[in-house]
A = this chain, B = another copy of it.
Amino acid sequence: MTDYAFGIDLGGTTVKIGLFSAAGELVYKHEIPTRKEDGGKHILPDIAEAVRADMEAYEITPKHLKGIGLDVPGPVLDDTIVNRCVNLGWGRINVVEELTELTGIRNIRVANDANVAALGEMWKGGGRGHDDLVMVTLGTGVGGGIIVRGKILGGSNGAGGEIGHMLVNDSETVLCGCGKKGHLEQYTSATGIARLAREALEKTDRPSALREYDKLSARKVFDQAKAGDELALEIVDQVCRILGHALAVIACVVDPEVIVIGGGVSKAGTILTETTARYFREAAFHACENTEFALAELGNDAGMYGAVKMVL
């Protein structure tokens, strides 16, 4: 009989639940809402109930369930404890203990969502075939995940791979969402790129197709850059320079085989990876100059894949 495992991506809005064969094939996926009310106390029971229902539907006995991997949008200590997760309304929770009690399943692992997405991309996505990987996720914010010898680098405070908050500009005056200043996220997130575009348009009166829009976005900047708009190209260049140099610093620290770029901004495609790689090589320590660049491939499923990988 086949063995199964769950890979569950617990987000601020929905919980994505993936049932996988032990061979790593996605058998069935569905979503349930993340009920954040009452300090998020319904979330784990809801997940346990969904797991129970899926096991019943697929006639899976506990003996044939290899485990549950779960990611959460917050810092995780010792693959076990979530240490305050604002997005879910949680304080300090031992997720493994609670979920074991609720499900009776013993092999449960939990980790931070950005780290788990990196693991998923290593296993089945843009980082396939590699063991040492850095993933940077350019979305509303900037997240990161680092894999060393096939394992998540979680960090001693659950802050491993928090590269969105690395200092890249000493002289910034505007605050980052975290309360400090000059962080990577302020320049290379979707919101950061839109901000750089607004600033660029204000600084000059050079013509640009970007002036046509009421509301600028990272996507519009990349689209117009691809269409040849000079100012848009300069903004893309500025963003990729900051990102490439930051990644060169990261490579001096963990020296990965491949850097995977994901998140909404990565839909820009090769203009993003190629320009970033060029600035990366300019700044990288010579031994790391040939580090590969790849685009993420799993999109919103990366979390489920990475989560199940932790228990397979």
How many residues of chain A have a CB within 8 Å of chain B?
Answer: 39
Report the separation of the CA atoms of residues A155 and B148 in the bound assembly, to the nearest whole angstrom: 8
The A interface is mostly helix, strand or loop, or mixed, namely loop
* Shortest Cβ gap from A173 to chain B (Å): 15
Structural contact, B161 and A249, CB atoms closer than 8 A: no
Partner of A285 from B148, B156, B165, B170 at Cβ < 8 Å: B165
Q: A251 at the A/B interface (Cβ < 8 Å)?
A: yes
Query: Do A253 and B146 touch (CB < 8 A)?
Result: yes
Task: Answer yes or no: A245 CB below 8 A from chain B CBs.
Answer: yes
How near does chain B come to A241, taking the closest CB pair, in angstroms? 9
* Cβ contact within 8 Å between B288 and A167: no
For chain A residues 236-277, which have a beta carbon within 8 Å of chain B?
Answer: 245, 248-257
Instruction: Give the docked Cα–Cα distance between A287 and B77 (Å).
Output: 12
Copies of this chain in its oligomeric complex: 2
Q: Is the CB of A159 within 8 A of B256?
A: no
Contact digits for A156-176, partner B, Cβ 8 Å, 1 yes 0 no: 111111110111001000000
Closest to A258 in B: B156
Contact yes or no, B156 A252, CB < 8 A: no
Residue A75 at the chain B interface, CB threshold 8 Å: yes
Shortest A205–chain B CB gap in Å is 27
Chain B contacts for A131, CB-based, 8 A: 156
Confirm or deny: A286 has a beta carbon within 8 angstroms of a beta carbon on chain B: yes
- Name the B residues within 8 Å of A154 (CB-CB): 255
Given B132, B253, B287, which contacts A163 in the complex, CB threshold below 8 Å?
B253
Q: Is the CB of A253 within 8 A of B161?
A: yes
Contact of A155 with B132 in the complex, beta carbons under 8 Å:
yes
Max count, chain B CB within 10 A of own CB: residue among A75, A153, A179, A248: A153
B148 touches A153 (CB 8 A): yes
The contact of A180 among B167, B251, B283, by CB within 8 Å, is B283
Instruction: Identify 23 residue pairs between A and B in the complex whose beta-carbon atoms are under 8 Å apart, listed by A's number.
Output: A146-B254, A148-B148, A153-B254, A155-B256, A156-B255, A156-B257, A157-B287, A157-B288, A158-B255, A159-B287, A162-B252, A162-B255, A162-B285, A162-B287, A163-B253, A165-B252, A178-B285, A180-B283, A180-B285, A249-B249, A253-B253, A253-B254, A254-B254
Interface residues, chain A, CB within 8 Å of chain B? 75, 131-132, 146, 148, 153-163, 165-167, 170, 178-180, 245, 248-257, 283, 285-288
